[in-house]
Protein backbone atom coordinates (compact mmCIF):
# COMPACT_ATOMS: atom_id res chain seq x y z
CA UNK A 1 0.00 0.00 0.00
CA UNK A 2 1.34 3.40 -0.97
CA UNK A 3 0.20 6.91 -0.18
CA UNK A 4 -1.06 7.39 -3.71
CA UNK A 5 -3.54 4.55 -3.20
CA UNK A 6 -5.02 6.40 -0.22
CA UNK A 7 -5.07 9.74 -2.06
CA UNK A 8 -6.82 8.24 -5.10
CA UNK A 9 -9.28 6.39 -2.88
CA UNK A 10 -10.09 9.58 -0.92
CA UNK A 11 -10.88 11.56 -4.11
CA UNK A 12 -13.14 8.82 -5.46
CA UNK A 13 -14.94 8.60 -2.11
CA UNK A 14 -15.47 12.37 -1.98
CA UNK A 15 -16.69 12.69 -5.61
CA UNK A 16 -18.52 9.34 -5.67
CA UNK A 17 -17.54 9.01 -9.30
CA UNK A 18 -14.54 7.36 -10.99
CA UNK A 19 -14.65 9.45 -14.15
CA UNK A 20 -14.80 12.78 -12.31
CA UNK A 21 -12.11 11.64 -9.90
CA UNK A 22 -9.84 10.67 -12.79
CA UNK A 23 -10.20 14.18 -14.24
CA UNK A 24 -9.26 15.78 -10.91
CA UNK A 25 -6.27 13.48 -10.56
CA UNK A 26 -5.22 13.99 -14.19
CA UNK A 27 -5.02 10.25 -14.91
CA UNK A 28 -7.12 7.96 -17.05
CA UNK A 29 -10.17 6.25 -15.58
CA UNK A 30 -8.75 2.73 -16.23
CA UNK A 31 -5.54 3.71 -14.42
CA UNK A 32 -7.57 4.99 -11.47
CA UNK A 33 -9.73 1.87 -11.38
CA UNK A 34 -6.57 -0.25 -11.38
CA UNK A 35 -5.15 1.66 -8.39
CA UNK A 36 -8.36 1.18 -6.39
CA UNK A 37 -8.40 -2.51 -7.34
CA UNK A 38 -4.85 -2.89 -6.00
CA UNK A 39 -5.92 -1.31 -2.70
CA UNK A 40 -8.98 -3.57 -2.44
CA UNK A 41 -6.89 -6.68 -3.16
CA UNK A 42 -4.37 -5.74 -0.47
CA UNK A 43 -7.09 -5.10 2.09
CA UNK A 44 -9.14 -8.10 0.96
CA UNK A 45 -12.43 -6.20 0.68
CA UNK A 46 -14.60 -4.16 -1.66
CA UNK A 47 -14.41 -0.46 -0.86
CA UNK A 48 -17.25 0.80 -3.09
CA UNK A 49 -20.74 -0.24 -4.08
CA UNK A 50 -21.98 0.92 -7.48
CA UNK A 51 -25.33 2.78 -7.54
CA UNK A 52 -26.04 3.76 -11.13
CA UNK A 53 -23.20 5.97 -12.33
CA UNK A 54 -22.18 6.74 -8.76
CA UNK A 55 -20.09 4.74 -6.33
CA UNK A 56 -20.80 4.73 -2.61
CA UNK A 57 -18.52 3.58 0.16
CA UNK A 58 -19.04 0.11 1.58
CA UNK A 59 -18.89 -0.36 5.34
CA UNK A 60 -15.23 -1.32 5.01
CA UNK A 61 -14.73 1.68 2.75
CA UNK A 62 -16.03 3.98 5.49
CA UNK A 63 -13.43 2.59 7.90
CA UNK A 64 -10.67 2.94 5.31
CA UNK A 65 -11.69 6.54 4.53
CA UNK A 66 -11.49 7.49 8.21
CA UNK A 67 -8.02 5.98 8.50
CA UNK A 68 -6.93 7.48 5.17
CA UNK A 69 -7.98 10.97 6.27
CA UNK A 70 -5.94 10.64 9.45
CA UNK A 71 -2.87 9.25 7.66
CA UNK A 72 -2.92 11.86 4.90
CA UNK A 73 -3.45 14.64 7.44
CA UNK A 74 -0.42 13.48 9.42
CA UNK A 75 1.62 13.23 6.23
CA UNK A 76 0.61 16.79 5.34
CA UNK A 77 1.65 18.00 8.80
CA UNK A 78 4.95 16.17 8.48
CA UNK A 79 5.58 17.66 5.05
CA UNK A 80 4.73 21.13 6.34
CA UNK A 81 7.04 20.72 9.34
CA UNK A 82 9.94 19.58 7.16
CA UNK A 83 9.29 22.38 4.66
CA UNK A 84 9.39 24.98 7.45
CA UNK A 85 12.68 23.56 8.72
CA UNK A 86 14.19 23.53 5.24
CA UNK A 87 13.03 27.12 4.64
CA UNK A 88 14.52 28.25 7.93
CA UNK A 89 11.17 29.05 9.54
CA UNK A 90 11.34 26.49 12.37
CA UNK A 91 13.61 23.95 14.00
CA UNK A 92 16.47 24.06 16.50
CA UNK A 93 20.06 25.26 16.24
CA UNK A 94 22.63 23.92 18.70
CA UNK A 95 25.59 26.24 19.25
CA UNK A 96 28.75 25.75 21.31
CA UNK A 97 30.62 28.90 22.36
CA UNK A 98 33.65 29.93 24.39
CA UNK A 99 33.05 31.57 27.75
CA UNK A 100 34.27 34.96 26.55
CA UNK A 101 32.08 34.95 23.42
CA UNK A 102 29.10 33.89 25.50
CA UNK A 103 29.65 36.65 28.04
CA UNK A 104 30.33 39.45 25.56
CA UNK A 105 28.43 38.85 22.34
CA UNK A 106 25.95 35.99 22.32
CA UNK A 107 23.17 38.02 23.98
CA UNK A 108 23.30 40.59 21.16
CA UNK A 109 23.52 37.92 18.46
CA UNK A 110 20.63 35.92 19.90
CA UNK A 111 18.48 39.01 20.39
CA UNK A 112 18.93 40.02 16.76
CA UNK A 113 18.38 36.47 15.50
CA UNK A 114 15.15 36.12 17.52
CA UNK A 115 13.94 39.39 16.06
CA UNK A 116 14.51 38.12 12.53
CA UNK A 117 13.67 34.42 13.00
CA UNK A 118 11.31 34.02 15.94
CA UNK A 119 10.27 30.48 14.93
CA UNK A 120 13.74 29.00 15.50
CA UNK A 121 14.70 27.51 18.87
CA UNK A 122 18.28 28.16 19.99
CA UNK A 123 20.32 25.92 22.28
CA UNK A 124 23.43 27.89 23.33
CA UNK A 125 26.04 25.96 25.34
CA UNK A 126 29.15 27.47 26.93
CA UNK A 127 31.85 24.82 26.50
CA UNK A 128 35.61 24.31 26.58
CA UNK A 129 37.11 24.62 23.13
CA UNK A 130 37.91 20.92 22.75
CA UNK A 131 34.24 20.06 23.37
CA UNK A 132 33.15 22.63 20.79
CA UNK A 133 35.41 21.07 18.14
CA UNK A 134 34.29 17.57 19.04
CA UNK A 135 30.60 18.53 19.14
CA UNK A 136 30.64 20.05 15.65
CA UNK A 137 32.71 17.18 14.27
CA UNK A 138 30.37 14.47 15.60
CA UNK A 139 27.14 16.32 14.79
CA UNK A 140 25.87 17.14 18.29
CA UNK A 141 26.46 20.84 17.58
CA UNK A 142 25.44 22.72 14.43
CA UNK A 143 27.87 25.61 14.95
CA UNK A 144 30.83 26.33 17.19
CA UNK A 145 32.71 29.52 18.03
CA UNK A 146 36.18 28.77 19.31
CA UNK A 147 39.85 28.73 18.48
CA UNK A 148 41.60 26.28 16.21
CA UNK A 149 43.51 23.51 17.99
CA UNK A 150 44.18 21.62 14.73
CA UNK A 151 42.52 18.44 15.93
CA UNK A 152 42.39 15.64 13.39
CA UNK A 153 38.79 16.09 12.27
CA UNK A 154 38.65 15.68 8.50
CA UNK A 155 35.10 17.04 8.27
CA UNK A 156 35.70 20.17 10.35
CA UNK A 157 35.59 23.55 8.60
CA UNK A 158 37.17 26.49 10.43
CA UNK A 159 36.46 30.05 9.26
CA UNK A 160 38.58 32.77 10.83
CA UNK A 161 36.69 35.59 12.53
CA UNK A 162 39.48 37.52 14.28
CA UNK A 163 42.85 37.25 16.01
CA UNK A 164 43.33 38.16 19.65
CA UNK A 165 46.42 39.03 21.61
CA UNK A 166 47.16 38.22 25.24
CA UNK A 167 47.48 40.67 28.13
CA UNK A 168 48.82 40.87 31.63
CA UNK A 169 45.84 42.04 33.70
CA UNK A 170 46.19 43.77 37.08
CA UNK A 171 44.30 46.22 39.20
CA UNK A 172 45.30 49.84 38.78
CA UNK A 173 46.57 49.86 42.37
CA UNK A 174 48.84 46.88 41.65
CA UNK A 175 49.99 47.98 38.21
CA UNK A 176 53.43 48.89 39.57
CA UNK A 177 54.11 45.15 39.98
CA UNK A 178 53.82 44.55 36.22
CA UNK A 179 57.53 45.00 35.55
CA UNK A 180 58.51 42.63 38.38
CA UNK A 181 56.05 40.01 37.10
CA UNK A 182 57.33 40.17 33.52
CA UNK A 183 60.99 40.09 34.66
CA UNK A 184 60.40 36.98 36.80
CA UNK A 185 61.03 38.82 40.06
CA UNK A 186 59.29 38.17 43.35
CA UNK A 187 56.09 40.06 44.11
CA UNK A 188 53.18 39.62 46.56
CA UNK A 189 50.37 38.96 44.02
CA UNK A 190 48.52 35.68 43.55
CA UNK A 191 47.82 34.33 40.08
CA UNK A 192 44.13 33.83 39.44
CA UNK A 193 43.57 31.40 36.56
CA UNK A 194 41.04 29.19 34.86
CA UNK A 195 41.08 25.50 35.90
CA UNK A 196 43.38 23.10 34.05
CA UNK A 197 40.62 21.64 31.85
CA UNK A 198 40.57 24.94 29.91
CA UNK A 199 42.97 25.21 26.98
CA UNK A 200 43.69 28.83 27.99
CA UNK A 201 45.21 27.57 31.25
CA UNK A 202 47.68 25.33 29.44
CA UNK A 203 48.93 28.27 27.38
CA UNK A 204 49.36 30.45 30.49
CA UNK A 205 51.09 27.69 32.47
CA UNK A 206 53.58 27.21 29.64
CA UNK A 207 54.22 30.97 29.53
CA UNK A 208 54.81 31.05 33.29
CA UNK A 209 57.40 28.27 33.03
CA UNK A 210 59.16 29.63 29.93
CA UNK A 211 59.40 33.17 31.33
CA UNK A 212 59.88 32.21 35.00
CA UNK A 213 56.78 34.16 36.09
CA UNK A 214 56.48 34.06 39.86
CA UNK A 215 53.41 34.29 42.07
CA UNK A 216 52.64 33.83 45.76
CA UNK A 217 49.98 31.19 45.02
CA UNK A 218 47.22 30.29 42.56
CA UNK A 219 43.47 30.75 42.77
CA UNK A 220 41.48 28.69 40.24
CA UNK A 221 38.11 30.06 39.11
CA UNK A 222 35.99 28.84 36.19
CA UNK A 223 34.38 32.24 35.59
CA UNK A 224 36.18 35.03 33.75
CA UNK A 225 33.93 37.62 35.39
CA UNK A 226 34.97 36.35 38.83
CA UNK A 227 38.65 36.33 37.81
CA UNK A 228 38.38 39.99 36.86
CA UNK A 229 36.61 40.80 40.14
CA UNK A 230 39.43 39.15 42.13
CA UNK A 231 42.04 41.06 40.16
CA UNK A 232 40.14 44.28 40.75
CA UNK A 233 40.38 43.67 44.51
CA UNK A 234 44.11 44.36 44.18
CA UNK A 235 45.86 41.20 45.38
CA UNK A 236 45.85 39.11 42.17
CA UNK A 237 46.92 39.17 38.54
CA UNK A 238 46.31 37.04 35.49
CA UNK A 239 47.33 36.56 31.86
CA UNK A 240 44.29 36.47 29.62
CA UNK A 241 43.27 36.84 25.99
CA UNK A 242 42.51 40.51 25.34
CA UNK A 243 38.86 39.75 24.58
CA UNK A 244 38.34 38.88 28.26
CA UNK A 245 39.44 42.32 29.38
CA UNK A 246 36.49 43.85 27.52
CA UNK A 247 34.20 42.30 30.09
CA UNK A 248 35.24 44.67 32.85
CA UNK A 249 38.16 46.88 31.82
CA UNK A 250 37.23 50.05 33.70
CA UNK A 251 39.41 52.44 35.63
CA UNK A 252 40.15 49.76 38.26
CA UNK A 253 41.84 47.33 35.83
CA UNK A 254 44.76 47.69 33.47
CA UNK A 255 45.76 45.41 30.56
CA UNK A 256 49.44 45.42 29.64
CA UNK A 257 51.17 43.96 26.57
CA UNK A 258 53.24 40.87 27.25
CA UNK A 259 56.97 40.95 26.54
CA UNK A 260 57.69 38.49 25.05
CA UNK A 261 54.23 38.13 23.55
CA UNK A 262 52.18 34.96 23.38
CA UNK A 263 51.33 34.25 19.71
CA UNK A 264 47.87 35.61 18.83
CA UNK A 265 45.03 33.13 19.05
CA UNK A 266 42.67 32.83 16.10
CA UNK A 267 38.96 32.77 16.96
CA UNK A 268 36.67 31.37 14.33
CA UNK A 269 33.51 29.61 13.29
CA UNK A 270 33.37 25.80 13.30
CA UNK A 271 31.02 23.96 10.94
CA UNK A 272 30.84 20.48 9.43
CA UNK A 273 31.93 20.84 5.79
CA UNK A 274 30.37 17.48 4.86
CA UNK A 275 26.95 18.29 6.33
CA UNK A 276 24.17 19.91 4.32
CA UNK A 277 23.49 22.98 6.45
CA UNK A 278 19.96 24.14 7.17
CA UNK A 279 18.99 27.63 6.07
CA UNK A 280 18.48 28.54 9.73
CA UNK A 281 22.08 27.53 10.51
CA UNK A 282 23.35 29.62 7.60
CA UNK A 283 21.28 32.58 8.83
CA UNK A 284 22.73 32.30 12.34
CA UNK A 285 26.25 31.94 10.94
CA UNK A 286 25.77 35.14 8.93
CA UNK A 287 24.83 37.04 12.08
CA UNK A 288 27.92 35.70 13.86
CA UNK A 289 30.06 36.97 11.00
CA UNK A 290 28.39 40.38 11.09
CA UNK A 291 29.08 40.74 14.81
CA UNK A 292 32.55 39.20 15.05
CA UNK A 293 34.29 39.21 11.67
CA UNK A 294 37.56 41.14 11.61
CA UNK A 295 37.21 42.50 15.14
CA UNK A 296 40.46 43.74 16.63
CA UNK A 297 41.39 42.64 20.13
CA UNK A 298 44.76 44.31 20.42
CA UNK A 299 43.70 46.42 23.37
CA UNK A 300 45.74 49.54 24.10
Q: 228 and 185, same structural domain?
A: yes
Q: Where are the beta strands (DSSP E) in 189-284?
A: 190-193, 218-220, 236-241, 253-257, 265-272
Give the C-alpha distances (Å, rounded to integers) separating 278 from 34, 92, 158: 41, 10, 18
Q: 196 and 115, same structural domain?
A: no
Kindly report, residue by residue over 165-184, the tens digit of the pLDDT. 899 999 999 999 999 999 99
Q: For the full predicted model, state whether its pTM sits above 0.75.
A: no
Q: How many angstroms separate the most distant Cα atoms in the chain?
A: 107
Dihedral angle at the C-alpha atoms of 173, 176, 182, 186, nearest 10 degrees? -90
Question: What is the CATH classification number for the domain harbouring 155?
Answer: 3.40.190.10
- Give the pLDDT band (50/70/90) at residue 246: low
Nearest to 137 by CA among 122, 151, 119, 117: 151
Q: Count the domains in the chain.
A: 3
Kindly report, residue by residue over 149-158, the tens digit of the pLDDT. 766 678 888 9
String of b and e for 230-245 (b: at least 16 CB within 10 Å)?
Answer: bbbeeebbbbbbbbbb
Q: 190 and 249, same structural domain?
A: yes
Domain that residue 279 falls in:
91-163+265-292
Q: 248 and 199, same structural domain?
A: yes
**What's the CA gap between 9 and 24, in Å, rounded?**
12
**Which of 86, 109, 140 lies at the terminal end of a domain, its last residue?**
86
Q: What is the chain's mean pLDDT, rounded?
A: 87
Q: Which residues pair with 38 in a beta bridge?
A: none
- Give the pLDDT band (50/70/90) at residue 188: very high
- Give the pLDDT band (50/70/90) at residue 298: very low
pLDDT at 46: 92
Amino acid sequence: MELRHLRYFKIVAELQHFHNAAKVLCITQPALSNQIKQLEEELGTKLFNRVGRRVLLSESGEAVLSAANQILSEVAELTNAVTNIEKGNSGTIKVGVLQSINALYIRKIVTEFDRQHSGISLNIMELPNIEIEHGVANGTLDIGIGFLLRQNYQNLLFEKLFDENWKLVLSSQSAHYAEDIMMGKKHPLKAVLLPREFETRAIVDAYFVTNKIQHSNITEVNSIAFILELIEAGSSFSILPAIFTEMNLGTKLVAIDLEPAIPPRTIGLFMDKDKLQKISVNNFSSLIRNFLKDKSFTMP
